[in-house]
Amino acid sequence: MLALALVGSAQAAPDCPALLQFQQLRLQDEKPVDLCSFAGKVVLVVNTASFCGFTPQYKALEALDRRYRDKGLVVLGFPSNDFGQQEPGNHREIADFCENTFGVKFAMFAKSNVAPGAGRAVNPFFVALEARTGKTPGWNFHKYLIGRTGQTVISHASAMDPGDPRFVADVERLLKATSP
C-alpha cells in the first residue's frame, strides 16, 4: 500500500512523544505529515471505512472535531480495507466520499493496514498503538485516544460511538489532564 511506503519513524523534536514519531501520507494529496506536529494535543486516532455499519460515526467524529478543536483535540482518520473489504476505493474516492457524504474536515490519511492479516504489513503507527494498549482493531472505527504527553492511551472498540457520553467524558478528561 502507498501509505506504508512513507510510514515510519520521523525525525523527532525533543518534546515529541515516541508514540507520535511517525510520518503518514495525507489522503487528499499523499503529502507526508509528521505526526509530531500534533504533540501537545489530545489525538483521536480512528481506522475508518466507507461501507461499514459504523460509517455514520463520521458525523460524530466531525462534531467532536468541531466542538473540541480549539481546546486541543485533533481527529485523525486512517482508512483501511482490512475488515470485510469495506474500503475498496482509491484515495480520491475515499476523500470524496468522506467530504461529500459526511462533510469530513478532520485530517485523513492514506489507506493502510491497521491489523495483522495474511501476508500484510501493518502501519507501524498502529503497531505502536497496539503495543501501548494491548488492543488491535477488531473492526472498522476502532478508536485510540492519546493524551497530550503521549503517556495515556485509551482504546475504544468500534461499537463505542464518538458521541456517547462515556467517550466524550474520556476526551474531556484528557483535554483537562495536561495543558500544553
Which residues are known to be catalytic?
52
Backbone angles phi, psi at 104, to 5 degrees: -65, 125
The number of residues in the chain equals: 180
Backbone angles phi, psi at 134, to 5 degrees: 75, 10
For cell 504527553, name the residue. Answer: 149
Cα distance between residue 37 and residue 148, in whole Å = 12
DSSP string, 105-171: -SEEB-----S-BTTBPPPHHHHHHHHHHS----STT-EEEE-TTS--EEEE-TTS-TTSHHHHHHH
Cα distance between residue 69 and residue 76, in whole Å = 12
